[in-house]
């Protein structure tokens, strides 16, 4: 019986990533591995799991495991700065979406395809909606930014507060948990109201400050490791050097032309949304083609 953990020793010896064929792992992921819901997009990834600093991407035929420099549960900010810099997240998102639009295989088996006749329609419809939303963002970046900070974000915070407060009034919940949820819910609700009344100018300053600090910190940590040599950057010397330099340049430009960089980031968001819509439409049409090739039961 072979576990995935049996293949991870090279990661503690300076190897950035180990690739293990699925057929060599005979045991399911053991205790400690937790499915990760938020990850930097990676082409071909079906699911992602974490165990402390170990991060595994499951593909159709392989387990691809690397060792993050920081455990996101223990050091979430350092993980975001060093393991997932903003420039890396944007570039990998573009790469993943583009590669997914070129993917030709259909993951569903014939049995699943027969029982899900309308999935392709949902994907095409969702893709068209996302495509239109993306076009609106690209054509109206300032209007979109104004609406998202003045309406969407406060509304999302208030909805979260309502969910927490509703949980507090459930029957059978112990008194101490009800009090805790009520206090949390009221705090989140107040944060939502504050977000709603916060002037747009302060929102811009707040967002730009976060982006600037993120990129400066990423550039500093990445370039510091690059200076130490290749052994300090096992995940890719030149790629991390490029990400560090680009992060630093963007941070400088953010101070020189904040409106221009903010507009560029919103434009990138719109472009990513359009690509996601295209990917869903293409995959939906491929699924429809696959369904047509299956003879009716």
Domain boundaries of the chain, sorted by first residue:
1-67, 110-142+201-292
- What percent of the chain is helix, strand and coil (3-state, nearest 5)? 70, 10, 25
| 190: enclosing H helix or E strand | helix 175-197
Would you say residue 104 has pLDDT above 70? no
Confidence of residue 111 (pLDDT cuts 50, 70, 90): very low
Q: What is the pLDDT of residue 115?
A: 47
Report the SS3 class of residue 41. coil
Nearest one of 276, 280, 220, 282 to 251, comparing CA atoms: 220
* Gap between the Cα atoms of 252 and 87, Å rounded: 14
Report the SS3 class of residue 142. helix
* Gap between the Cα atoms of 223 and 246, Å rounded: 11
Confidence of residue 291 (pLDDT cuts 50, 70, 90): low
Would you say residue 219 has pLDDT above 60? yes
Would you say residue 36 has pLDDT above 70? yes
Q: What is the pLDDT of residue 240?
A: 92
Q: Count of alpha carbons within 13 Å of 146, Cβ hemisphere only? A: 4
What is the DSSP code string of 237-253? Answer: HHHHHHHHHHHHHHHHH
Number of residues written out for the chain: 297
Instruction: Encode pLDDT of 115-154 as tens digits.
Output: 455 677 777 888 898 889 889 989 988 888 888 888 888 9
- Per the listing, tokens 């993917």 go with 103
* Gap between the Cα atoms of 137 and 155, Å rounded: 19
Question: Tokens standing for 163?
Answer: 């969910």
* Gap between the Cα atoms of 51 and 296, Å rounded: 44
Q: What is the pLDDT of residue 102?
A: 61
* Gap between the Cα atoms of 53 and 11, Å rounded: 11
């Amino acid at each position: 019986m072979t576990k995935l953990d049996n293949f991870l020793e090279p990661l503690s010896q300076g190897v950035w990533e180990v690739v293990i064929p699925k057929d060599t792992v005979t045991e399911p992921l053991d205790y400690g591995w937790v499915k990760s819901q938020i990850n930097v997009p990676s082409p071909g990834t079906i699911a992602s799991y974490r165990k402390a600093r170990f991060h595994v991407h499951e593909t159709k035929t392989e387990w691809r495991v690397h060792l993050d420099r920081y455990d996101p549960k223990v050091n979430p900010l350092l993980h975001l700065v060093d393991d997932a810099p903003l420039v890396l997240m944007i570039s990998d998102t573009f790469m993943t979406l583009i590669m997914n639009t070129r993917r030709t295989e259909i993951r569903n088996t014939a049995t699943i395809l027969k029982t899900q006749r309308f999935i392709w329609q949902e994907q095409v419809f969702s893709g068209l909606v996302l495509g239109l939303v993306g076009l609106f963002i690209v054509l109206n970046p300032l209007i979109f930014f104004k609406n998202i900070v003045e309406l969407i974000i406060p509304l999302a915070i208030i909805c979260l507060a309502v969910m927490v407060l509703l949980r507090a009034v459930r029957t059978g919940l112990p008194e101490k948990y009800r009090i805790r949820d009520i206090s949390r819910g009221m705090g989140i609700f107040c944060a939502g109201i504050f977000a709603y009344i916060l002037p747009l100018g302060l929102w811009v300053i707040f967002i730009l400050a976060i982006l600037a600090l993120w990129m400066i910190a990423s550039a500093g940590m990445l370039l510091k490791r690059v200076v130490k040599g290749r052994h300090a950057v096992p995940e890719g010397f030149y790629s991390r050097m490029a990400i560090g330099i680009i992060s630093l340049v963007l941070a400088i430009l953010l101070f020189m032309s904040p409106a221009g960089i903010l507009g560029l980031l919103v434009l990138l968001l719109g472009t990513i949304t359009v690509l996601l819509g295209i990917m869903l439409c293409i995959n939906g049409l491929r699924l429809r083609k696959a369904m047509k090739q299956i003879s009716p039961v």
